[in-house]
Amino acid sequence: MYSTGRSLSYKHVTLMRTSNWDKDLTIVNENINIPRKSMSAIVLLFTSKARTNSEEYIYPNIDKVNLTIEGVPNAVFSQGLPKNRFFEEAKSFFCPMCEKSMADEFMSISRFFSSGFALVIDLRTTQDDTTGGGRKIVNTQSGVLMEIKKQATTADVQCNIFVVSDALLNFANRDLSSIQY
């Protein structure tokens, strides 16, 4: 089947790092400096440091996120990503077009902010699942810098930063020849 050579596309998810945010922080700078041919998204999941529920992700009072990509400020959102767009960004990334109405049954805005929060920075140049539609990040010196403005919280927060990329498994002569992401 793969004797002539084939490529299979998939989403590659990397846990970039886990950082701890002090409850009194109001501005947090996170830098993602890993090269990718097609970075689809950056996803941040937040938990309390004294985690008791493995399915609960908290909202750490984020007001706005500003992005600088390879030295270019506001490369994705001209005025930054405000709080009122967090739910729509997560929904557009995680829910395929045909399932958006069905997704409303399982995740409401109130549930999103109370126990299912994920900060999603969608870097795709098109709003569909086309492979290779993400941002090309080559410069590992500057990469992606996120400036997160937030209000103080009642407890320390643990932040898990994931990078989602388009990837290819390349086969030639029935063997895996390379992996690209």
* CB 129, CB 158: distance < 8 Å: no
Q: What pLDDT score does 3 carry?
A: 54
What proportion of the chain, given as a percentage, has pLDDT over 70? 87
CB proximity list for 10: less than 8 A, separation 6 or greater: 167, 168, 169
Hey, what are 129's tokens?
A: 């699942």
What proportion of the chain, given as a percentage, has pLDDT over 90? 33
Q: What pLDDT score does 53 carry?
A: 76
Q: Is the pLDDT of residue 83 over 70?
A: yes
Nearest-angstrom CA–CA distance, 24 and 27: 9
- pLDDT tens, residue by residue, 101-123: 655 667 788 888 888 899 999 88
Closest CA to 11 of 163, 170, 122: 163
Site of tokens 């500003």: 66
CB proximity list for 137: less than 8 A, separation 6 or greater: 32, 34, 35, 36, 39, 69, 70, 143, 144
**148 against 51, higher pLDDT:** 148
- pLDDT tens, residue by residue, 159-177: 999 999 988 888 888 888 8
Q: Is the pLDDT of residue 80 over 60?
A: yes
Q: Is the pLDDT of residue 39 over 80?
A: yes
Three-state SS for 68? strand
Predicted confidence band of residue 46 (pLDDT cuts 50, 70, 90): very high
- Phi then psi for 75, rounded to 5 degrees? -70, -25
Structural domains in the chain plus CATH codes: 6-180 (2.70.9.20)
Q: Determine which helix (DSSP H) or strand (DSSP E) holds 64, and give its type and residue range.
A: strand 62-69
- Phi then psi for 106, rounded to 5 degrees? -100, -20
What number of other Cβ atoms are within 10 A of residue 181's Cβ? 18
Average pLDDT over residues 61-85: 88
Looking at every residue in the chain, the average pLDDT score rounds to 84
Q: What pLDDT score does 63 carry?
A: 94
